[in-house]
Structure 1
Amino acid sequence: MWFLISLHMAAGQKHPCWHLWSLPSRQIAGSKPENICRQFHKSDQMSETNTSSQSVKLLAKLGLAIVLIMLLWPLRGDAAEAVSFNTTTTAPLATKDQDGFQDEILIEVFRRQGRKVITRYLPGERSLINLNKGVDDGTVVRIAGLEKTYTNFRIVPEAVLDFEFVAFTLDQAVVINNWADLKPYSVSFVNGWKIYEKNVQGVKQIVRVRDQVQLFQLLAAKRTDIVLYEKWSGLYEIKKLGLKNVRAHPLATRAMYMYLHKKNEAMIPDLTAALKSMKSDGTI
């Protein structure tokens, strides 16, 4: 037996009972080598089994971690890049599918920053409150100067586009050339449109409504003399309702801006540059 072990080791291989050579002589004295060999061989097998089991468990955990990272990393990246905006503008400038003219401008502005933007419609005053609280990252499009009232607003100083603010009437006898001409009439507009809140003064009656649908329904029902809205979105609502002989009286044209919550003001220089470049290259 010992001769075979010696030959095995001489061949440069470890015999299953190689442990014997490192044991003190007193531990093997009086014992048969075969018994000692079997004892240590059994111990080795148990040790190898435990080690193998632990390795399998470790590899399984590592594999699961890698799979989770691969699945979640793209979602994390999209979430980090997405910017949430609100708007009070309606079709055809802004739509639920984000394919209106205003939508396309905003999408392109953020695309040039390597970001995505998600825009949702909110009623006028609610959109301002949400931005001031930081619920949304930004709002578009708004008149200049809102940062004086809403202290958490930060304006992007390059205009997005110009709005034509219009008085719509059904009565063909009504003539409106300026804000003062509104005084003899009942006037309706969407709550939160600051240009109207500022300029409509001393009129017969003011009716504030939640949105453009209510606004033009009032006009259709002849429950108000004049409704005030943005020109193109107003014409869109008139067409939807099938109203005839509606006159549009221009009141003002204003540059319209995007605002960010103050937590995002670091974006302002890049957004300003993007808007300027879009105007230079003919995108806007």
Structure 2
Amino acid sequence: MKLFLLVALLFCWPVHAKPQSDLPTLYFTNLPNNFTASIGAEVVKVAYQKLGIQVEFVDMPTKRALVQSNEGKVDGEIHRIWSIVDSYPNLIRVPTPINYVDQVVFSSIQNVDIKQCADLAPYSVGIVRGVKHAEECTRDLPLQRVFNTDVRMMALLSAQKIDFAVSSWVNGMWLRKSMNIDNVHVVGPPISRQLLYHYVHKKHADLVDKIDAVFQDMQESGELELVRKQVINELLKNAH
């Protein structure tokens, strides 16, 4: 009887999922204090979970991150712009975009409407060093000011030491709240939208179609945009 009960218990014992630590792990570079990257990281994490793969993120500066990814020392990039493969040929772009950057203009000036980069020509305009879409927008402007950090740029914008600042909507709105700036606002509609794509090193070429199918499903179901909005809301709620 005891043997029968033991066998019955073994067959009735709940079957647990494989421990998280036993799942394969991929490592992608992350840009610290970049909130656009935080959105993409959550999308990537959710997508790979659907394939039974866990991911970890490694913080490093933007240039170094690309070099490390291209050399295969990490497994790829959370996301980058379309043309990055022109300079880093060992990276494979996953076709479906997973995030985007709305490039906007911030200012303390009232009653002015900026619709395109050329409209900034008469003014002093701040950008952050290394932010490609901002550099391209202001390349030919005579009064361009380049800052090492967006915190410094927004502080001088609030103090009216510069007229405008070009930034992503997400980063700019987070800075307004975290720095307690109430005299700076978005001026006009977005001047551009940059689509962002996930990249893997060529050693993971067999994953491209699989993860792209997941991204497509997330896009079509609305899950991708839902994840994006949830991360933005959480970032802005926790800004202080």
The answer, yes or no, to whether TM exceeds 0.5 is: yes
Structure 1 residue aligned with 2:230: none
Structure 2 residue aligned with 1:262: 202
Residue 111 (str. 1) matches residue 49 (str. 2)? yes
Corresponding residue to 1:156 among 94, 107, 113: 94
Structure 2 residue aligned with 1:71: none
Structure 2 residue aligned with 1:275: 215
Larger Rg: 1
Shift in alpha-carbon separation, 1:228–1:282, aligned structure 2, 3 A: same
Query: Which structure carries more helix by proportion?
Result: 1
Structure 1 residue aligned with 2:231: none
Asked whether the 8 Å contact 1:123–1:210 carries over to 2, the reply is no
The structural deviation recorded for 1:143 is: 1.9
Q: Provide the rounded CA distance (Å) in 2 between the counterparts of 1:210 and 1:125.
A: 15
Asked whether the 8 Å contact 2:41–2:78 carries over to 1, the reply is no
Alignment of 1:202-281 (within 5 A): 202-249=140-187, 250-281=190-221
- Which AA in structure 2 matches 1:137? D
Asked whether the 8 Å contact 2:158–2:184 carries over to 1, the reply is no
Corresponding residue to 1:165 among 78, 103, 125: 103
The structural deviation recorded for 1:221 is: 4.2
The structural deviation recorded for 1:178 is: 0.3
Structure 2 gaps, min length 5: 1-18, 225-240
Asked whether the 8 Å contact 1:169–1:247 carries over to 2, the reply is yes
- Which AA in structure 2 matches 1:266? D
Aligned-residue RMSD, C-alpha: 2.8
- Which AA in structure 1 matches 2:206? A
Residue 82 (str. 1) matches residue 82 (str. 2)? no
TM-score with structure 1 length normalisation? 0.62
Question: Is the partner of 1:202 in helix, strand or coil?
Answer: coil
Shift in alpha-carbon separation, 1:258–1:169, aligned structure 2, 3 A: same
Q: Provide the rounded CA distance (Å) in 1 between the counterparts of 2:123 and 2:95.
A: 36
- Which AA in structure 1 matches 2:207? M
Q: Provide the rounded CA distance (Å) in 1 between the counterparts of 2:34 and 2:139.
A: 28
Question: Is the partner of 1:145 in helix, strand or coil?
Answer: helix
Asked whether the 8 Å contact 2:97–2:198 carries over to 1, the reply is yes
Question: Is the partner of 1:208 in helix, strand or coil?
Answer: strand
- Cα offsets for 1:215-270 (capped at 9, x unmatched): 32342344433222211221011111111131213211232211223333332111
Q: Provide the rounded CA distance (Å) in 1 between the counterparts of 2:65 and 2:166.
A: 19
- Which AA in structure 2 matches 1:255? L
Asked whether the 8 Å contact 1:157–1:257 carries over to 2, the reply is yes
- Which AA in structure 1 matches 2:212? T
TM-score with structure 2 length normalisation? 0.72
Count of matched residue positions in the alignment of Structure 1 and Structure 2: 204
Structure 2 residue aligned with 1:131: 69
Asked whether the 8 Å contact 2:105–2:165 carries over to 1, the reply is yes
Structure 2 residue aligned with 1:176: 114
Alignment of 1:88-103 (within 5 A): 88=31, 90=33, 95=38, 101-103=39-41
- Which AA in structure 2 matches 1:215? M
